[in-house]
Amino acid sequence: MLGVVKRALYLLKNRKDMKKSFLILVSFIFSVSLMAQEKATPVSDVNALKSEMQQSASKIKTISSDFTQEKFMSVMASKMVSKGKFYYQKEDKVTLQYLTPFKQNLVMNGTKLMMEANGKKNVLDATSNPMMAELKKVISACMGGNIASMGSDYKLEFFQTGGLYLIKIYPQSANIKKVAEMVDLYLDKKDFSVVKMKMLEPLKKGQKTNDYTEYIFENKKFNSPIDASVFSIK
């Protein structure tokens, strides 16, 4: 994830390719673990499920958890694995603290996004770029479990498998489709919290398999106080 953001930040500094930088950064939001699709069955009453999800999301003020990120690239023999801490505070604060193999931070707070690595900080302001503002909204929607707020730029399909709901998200915007072919979001049926996410990237020229990034969220805590410094951008 941070590799994607690093490249986006570099491109944003070189404003010749603002559109491309946004597309790369969009891929930050989309990352999750894929389960066996053949076991998933369509949800019979989607409207009822959406209503339950919205009610559940309205009760969530904060989420904290451990996360594991696994990046699969066709050009590499093995996956890249990172671990860290995830924090969310309603409505618009998201932090990923990478602890291994390297210590790095990614913070979204209001209209600002900050990446901190190797003692250096890069800060962006979404108010100067409408697409960045949309990106911020989508990230908060996915991480906070309130996908109903994502809007018409995304087609949603609802399934269930075992103790999970699977929401398949298909970007409709031509720009976003360049970096995200499909997103799978797995929610725990008990509390509608995000268990796994996967972003499947479009096939690139010469590729036989899609690159993708998975996230697994564990040891979740809800509505526990989170120190304000976790979301601080300076």
Residue 45 predicted with pLDDT over 90: yes
133 or 47: which leads in pLDDT: 47
pLDDT of residue 137: 67
Q: For residue 85, which phi and psi values (nearest 5 degrees)? A: -115, 140
Q: What is the mean pLDDT of residues 190-215?
A: 87
Q: What is the pTM of this model?
A: 0.77
Neighbours of 212 (CB within 10 A): 25
Residues near 232 by Cβ (< 8 Å), separated by ≥ 6? 107, 109
Residue 3 predicted with pLDDT over 90: no
Q: What is the mean pLDDT of residues 192-197?
A: 90
Angle of helix 130-144 relative to helix 18-29, nearest 10 degrees, comes to 0
Q: Which of 198, 157, 171 lies closest to 35, judged by CA?
A: 198
The DSSP bridge partners found for residue 212 are 72, 200
Neighbours of 149 (CB within 10 A): 14
What is the domain partition of the chain in residue ranges? 2-221
Cα Rg, the chain, nearest whole Å: 17
Question: Highest mean pLDDT: which of 17-31, 159-173, 200-214?
Answer: 159-173
Which one of 2.40.40.20, 2.50.20.10, 3.30.930.10, 2.40.110.10 gives the CATH number of domain 2-221?
Answer: 2.50.20.10
The DSSP bridge partners found for residue 226 are none
Neighbours of 219 (CB within 10 A): 10
Instruction: Dump the DSSP string for 29-67.
Output: H-------GGG-EE-S-HHHHHHHHHHHHHH--EEEEEE
